[in-house]
A and B are shown apart, each in its own frame.
Chain A
Amino acid sequence: MPENPATRSGPGRLLVAVYALFALAATARATVQILTRFEEAPLAYLLSALAGGVYIVATVGIARADRTSHRVAAVSCTVELLGVLIIGALSLLDPAAFPDDTVWSRFGSGYFFIPLVLPVLGLLWLRHVERLGRTRVSGAVTGESS
């Protein structure tokens, strides 16, 4: 019986749930901020919107089972990780540039550092699934030859 890679079940589903919540939180927050008080901190709000977009892509990418989706998810997780590291460092070095917080400010301390941990977990999970798929393929090949 060929099984689908178990991305959507088990721990993967928890990851998708957390990602979905973050996608919702970041986009909703950015939308309200951009619509109501964009001029206060345009850079911070645009970054929040960008973060929201990246979270949405990552959520869909992890939730879907095919390899292309996983590659897209891996790219967006990497973008997230770079984003939280770079914006986190910048927000500490130059607080004046960020009058209002973004999801990634101070390495995501306003969100219990989940934005910092999430892309790492995402990448680890995608690598795990990738390996699972590969062993299954090679297992099937050796199974046929023996």
Chain B
Amino acid sequence: MIDGLTTTIQLASLAMAVWCLISAFRGQPMFVPHLIGIGVLWLLLLGQGVVSGLLMANGEQPAERVVFIGYLATVILLPPACAVWGFMERSRWGPAVIAFACFILPVLMVRLEQTWSPALA
């Protein structure tokens, strides 16, 4: 876990959430720019996953290992799930679902941080 990366992910996710909310209010379905945004978010999350994996391989252990891996898997699966949902629902409710997920993601990142080192709780 790199703190700076977590903060970046949280800010990117919130920006994405606001953008998708605006799209939902304007009645737009998910377009290619949204997909690119989801892709960027996903790459950031994958980066955090890889870094955490390397740190764990080098002996640094999360405080709650199983829970940490569970949360990490969930947050990494969230952007692809968003994309699938956006393809299924070709209306304003596609971006609405993505907005909801992107509002939840920063919270999940906080929980992820806590399971890595409870001192941050």
Residue ranges of A at the interface with B (Cβ–Cβ < 8 Å): 9-11, 13-14, 17-18, 21, 24, 28, 32, 36
Q: Which residues on the A side are within 8 Å of B19 (C-beta)? A: none
How far is the CB of B50 from the nearest CB of chain A, in Å?
23
**In contact, A32 and B96 (Cβ under 8 angstroms):** no
Determine if B70 is an interface residue (Cβ-Cβ < 8 Å).
yes
Query: Could you list some 7 contacts between A and B, CB below 8 A?
Result: A10-B93, A13-B97, A17-B97, A24-B74, A28-B70, A32-B67, A32-B70
Q: Which residues on the B side are within 8 Å of A36 (C-beta)? A: 66
Determine if B121 is an interface residue (Cβ-Cβ < 8 Å).
no
**In contact, B91 and A10 (Cβ under 8 angstroms):** yes
How far is the CB of A5 from the nearest CB of chain B, in Å?
16
Determine if B88 is an interface residue (Cβ-Cβ < 8 Å).
yes
**In contact, A32 and B93 (Cβ under 8 angstroms):** no
Q: Main secondary structure on chain B at its contact with chain A?
A: helix
**In contact, A14 and B70 (Cβ under 8 angstroms):** no
The CA of A9 and the CA of B66, in the complex, are separated in Å by: 35
How far is the CB of A35 from the nearest CB of chain B, in Å?
8
Q: Give the nearest-CB partner of B91 in chain A.
A: A10
The CA of A36 and the CA of B68, in the complex, are separated in Å by: 14
The total of Cβ contacts below 8 Å across the A-B interface reads 31
Residue ranges of B at the interface with A (Cβ–Cβ < 8 Å): 66-67, 70, 74, 85, 88-89, 91, 93, 96-97, 100-101, 104
**In contact, A14 and B66 (Cβ under 8 angstroms):** no
**In contact, A9 and B74 (Cβ under 8 angstroms):** no
How far is the CB of B93 from the nearest CB of chain A, in Å?
5
**In contact, B91 and A17 (Cβ under 8 angstroms):** no
The CA of A11 and the CA of B67, in the complex, are separated in Å by: 32
**In contact, B91 and A14 (Cβ under 8 angstroms):** no
The CA of A14 and the CA of B88, in the complex, are separated in Å by: 12
How far is the CB of A111 from the nearest CB of chain B, in Å?
9
Q: Which of B74, B85, B91, B93 has the largest number of chain A CB atoms within 10 A? A: B93
The CA of A21 and the CA of B67, in the complex, are separated in Å by: 16
The CA of A36 and the CA of B66, in the complex, are separated in Å by: 10
Knowing A9-B91, A13-B85 are in contact, say whether A18-B66 is a contact too (CB < 8 A): no
**In contact, B96 and A14 (Cβ under 8 angstroms):** yes
**In contact, B89 and A13 (Cβ under 8 angstroms):** yes
16 more A-B residue pairs beyond the given contacts A14-B96, A17-B85, with a C-beta to C-beta distance below 8 A: A9-B89, A9-B91, A10-B93, A11-B93, A11-B96, A13-B89, A13-B93, A13-B97, A14-B93, A14-B100, A17-B97, A17-B101, A18-B100, A24-B74, A32-B66, A36-B66
